[in-house]
DNA sequence: GAAAAGATGTGATTGATGTCACATCTCTTC
DNA sequence: GAAGAGATGTGACATCAATCACATCTTTTC
């Protein structure tokens, strides 16, 4: 955790100690990165924090809310369920990601359920508070627009991948995406801790669990990846994976 | 057939008469709906207008741009091409829709090619101009955020539909979507002029052209829709279609 | 560390969709 | 309004992923 040029934090304690800084989730949130220091401490007082254990539901489907939620620790999935009960995972949220931007202009129903994948801490900021912040700090609006734009771009990419007929390309794209977000480069390849089980991967990619198993098995046979337990993965030949992803 | 030219208000006439106001694309654009009258005329002087004939390329793939583009008339498709040449249509833009929001913070490559489906008029506003507008009119930022949020919601819906296994659901959803956007309610059902050919529908939905033909034929046999020439469609039993879409 | 619970791997089978080839229909153009 | 170009419909076939059923492997729990 990098802290540079940080001044004092009178509200919390009388000096900028590590403990207090860690409590300020605003420092970890890219959305607020463009704001001046004083604004961050100001925001911090308006934020409501909550913790959820792994597996619990953070936002039940159909909740009417007027808050924007930011993940300040852990991972969560956003998903919808179709009439026959099939789950479709839309996003994997990690530290720093936010959702609920649709409530910014008016309270409304959340379009997806959010569930904790690991123990998760969230910060919630009310519509009113965020709107006031935007009016006082227009650069926050620009940052928000940029973040939304990035997300749009990712969804556009996802739609192209899902629209294409090749399941292999979808899987390769997903693995590359996870490698980039959660991977650690080592001498023998990229080590990734997958955020989802095979079942979860299946819901995310939109195919059957058995198909994921078979396809990953195939990739392992071809020496492209190595499975290390249920959530572990080592990517051996990332260039080959990139080729498969097209 | 491409005529460029900047239109400033005085060039049209010397006062704000209704006829001239109608020519100001700023009045037709939802994105600007929250702005005061003076701002609209101010924006109008900074906009560059261009026309494109049906079938022409408005934004070639890979264009580096720093403008936001608004469709002020006609329809266009945004599409990507995969390595094997398959087209994936991401959006159908109609009057009032905009794209290029990714260029708002820095000039960048367009992530998709935009092609005119009909004769199309566009308005382009530079990054600098739009940024200045946002700073002077923060409500514009909120409107932009809302529009982006709406688009995100639509893409999320699309991903759920594409992730689900049922092709029938995808087709029904698409038809309902088109009915809502382009349909006219009459006594014998909803008459829709499709913006795309069967080939286009196939690229949009992500399936083979032949499959679309067969599925639409099936829907017609079941008395749910009636095909009227290549682009015409009458939706007879919209409730059944809704059931199929789940 | 052993047992139970849960997740994953795998074979056989089925069905739906892509592909190819070509007939037929629509729309455009002159 | 006739001809041609382009778009669409349709049959046959191959292919690939979903499903079902069950074995096997990991992880968790006590």
Q: Kindly report, residue by residue over B54-84, the tens digit of the pLDDT.
A: 999 999 999 999 999 999 999 999 999 988 8
By residue count, chain B amounts to: 246
The answer to whether the CB atoms of A86 and B134 lie below 8 A apart is no
The answer to whether the CB atoms of B82 and A164 lie below 8 A apart is yes
Residue B88 has pLDDT above 60, yes or no: yes
Query: For residue B204, what are the contacts with CB-CB under 8 A and spacing of at least 6?
Result: B89, B92, B174, B196
Strand D bases within 7 angstroms of protein beta carbons: 7-12, 16-21, 26-27
Does residue A42 lie within 7 Å of nucleic acid chain D, judged by its CB?
no
| A232: nt with nearest C1' to CA | D26
Residue A15 has pLDDT above 60, yes or no: no
pLDDT at A184: 94
Residues above pLDDT 70, as percent of chain B:
90
Q: What is the mean pLDDT of chain B?
A: 88
Question: Quick one: CATH architecture of A165-245?
Answer: Orthogonal Bundle (1.10)
Least CB–CB distance from B162: residue in A104, A148, A163: A163
- Contacts across the A-B interface (CB distance below 8 Å): 126
Chain B residues at the A interface, defined by Cβ less than 8 Å, are: 80, 82-84, 86, 88, 90, 101-102, 104-105, 111-112, 131, 134-135, 138, 141-142, 144-146, 148-149, 151-153, 155-160, 162-165, 203, 205-206, 246
Query: For residue A2, what are the contacts with CB-CB under 8 A and spacing of at least 6?
Result: none
Q: Is pLDDT larger for residue B8 or for residue A190?
A: A190
Residue A18 has pLDDT above 70, yes or no: no
B158-CA/D18-C1' distance, Å: 22
Range A116-127 average pLDDT: 94
Q: Is pLDDT larger for residue A58 or for residue A35?
A: A58
- Could you give the CA distance from residue A42 to residue A166 in angstroms, rounded to a whole number? 49
- Could you give the CA distance from residue A215 to residue B24 in angstroms, rounded to a whole number? 55
Domain positions in chain B are: 5-158, 164-245
Range A98-116 average pLDDT: 93
- Could you give the CA distance from residue A23 to residue A20 in angstroms, rounded to a whole number? 5
Q: Assign A23 a pLDDT band (cuts: 50, 70, 90).
A: low
Q: Is pLDDT larger for residue B17 or for residue A175?
A: A175
pLDDT at B85: 85
**For residue range A50-103, what is the model confidence (pLDDT) as tens digits?**
999 999 999 999 999 999 999 999 999 999 998 888 999 999 999 999 999 999
- Could you give the CA distance from residue A31 to residue A68 in angstroms, rounded to a whole number? 11
| B196: nt with nearest C1' to CA | D7
Residues above pLDDT 90, as percent of chain A:
69
Residue A2 has pLDDT above 60, yes or no: no
Q: Assign B7 a pLDDT band (cuts: 50, 70, 90).
A: very low
Closest by CA position to B147, among listed A123, A148, A238, A107: A148
Exposure of B184 in the CB half-sphere (CA atoms within 13 A): 4
SS3 A169: helix
Q: Assign A10 a pLDDT band (cuts: 50, 70, 90).
A: very low
- Could you give the CA distance from residue B166 to residue A161 in angstroms, rounded to a whole number? 17
From residue B165, alpha-carbon distances to A224, B159, B182, B220, B245 in Å are 28, 11, 27, 22, 12
State the burial class of residue B229 (Cβ atoms within 10 Å of its Cβ: 0-12, 13-18, 19+): exposed
Query: How close does chain A come to B18, measured CA to CA in Å?
Result: 31
Question: Quick one: CATH architecture of A18-161?
Answer: Sandwich (2.60)
Pull the structure tokens for residue A146.
Answer: 């940029």
Range A134-153 average pLDDT: 91
**For residue range B15-68, what is the model confidence (pLDDT) as tens digits?**
455 545 555 678 888 899 888 888 888 888 889 999 999 999 999 999 999 999
Pull the structure tokens for residue A235.
Answer: 């990517």
Closest residue in A to B155 (Cα) is A155
Within chain A, residue ranges assigned H as helices are: 18-23, 37-44, 127-136, 138-163, 167-182, 198-205, 209-221, 238-245
**Phi and psi for A154 in degrees, rounded to 5?**
-65, -40
Fold of domain B164-245: Arc Repressor Mutant, subunit A (1.10.10)
**For residue range B176-228, what is the model confidence (pLDDT) as tens digits?**
999 999 999 999 999 999 999 999 999 999 999 999 999 999 999 999 999 99
Q: Which segments within B82-170 are labelled E, that is strand?
A: 87-93, 98-99, 108-109, 113-116, 120-126
Closest by CA position to B68, among listed B132, B113, B126: B126
Q: Which of residues 149-168 of B touch strand D (CB under 7 A)?
A: 165
Q: Is pLDDT larger for residue A18 or for residue B73?
A: B73
Closest by CA position to B9, among listed B37, B38, B44: B44
pLDDT at A4: 32
CATH 2.60.120.10 for domain B5-158? yes
SS3 A157: helix
């Amino acid at each position: 955790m990098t802290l540079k040029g940080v001044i004092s934090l009178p509200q919390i304690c009388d000096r900028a100690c590590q403990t207090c800084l860690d409590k300020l989730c605003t420092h970890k949130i890219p959305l607020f990165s463009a704001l001046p220091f004083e604004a961050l401490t100001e925001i911090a007082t308006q934020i409501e924090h909550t913790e959820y254990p792994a597996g619990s539901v953070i936002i039940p489907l159909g909740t009417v809310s007027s808050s924007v939620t930011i993940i300040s620790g852990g991972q969560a999935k956003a998903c919808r369920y179709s009439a026959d009960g099939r789950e479709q995972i839309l996003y994997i949220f990690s530290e720093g990601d936010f959702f609920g931007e649709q409530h910014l202009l008016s309270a409304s129903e959340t379009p997806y359920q959010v569930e904790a994948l690991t123990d998760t801490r969230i910060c919630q900021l009310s519509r009113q508070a965020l709107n006031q912040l935007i009016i006082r700090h227009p650069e926050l609006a620009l940052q928000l627009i940029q973040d939304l734009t990035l997300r749009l771009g990712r969804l556009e990419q996802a739609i192209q991948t899902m629209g294409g007929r090749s399941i292999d390309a979808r899987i390769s794209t997903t693995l590359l995406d996870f490698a980039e977000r959660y991977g650690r480069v080592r001498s023998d390849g990229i080590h990734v801790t997958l955020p989802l089980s095979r079942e979860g991967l299946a819901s995310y990619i939109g195919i059957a669990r058995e198909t994921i198993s078979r396809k990953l098995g195939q990739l392992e046979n071809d020496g492209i990846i190595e499975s290390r337990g249920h959530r572990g993965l080592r990517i051996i030949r990332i260039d080959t994976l990139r080729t498969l992803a097209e």
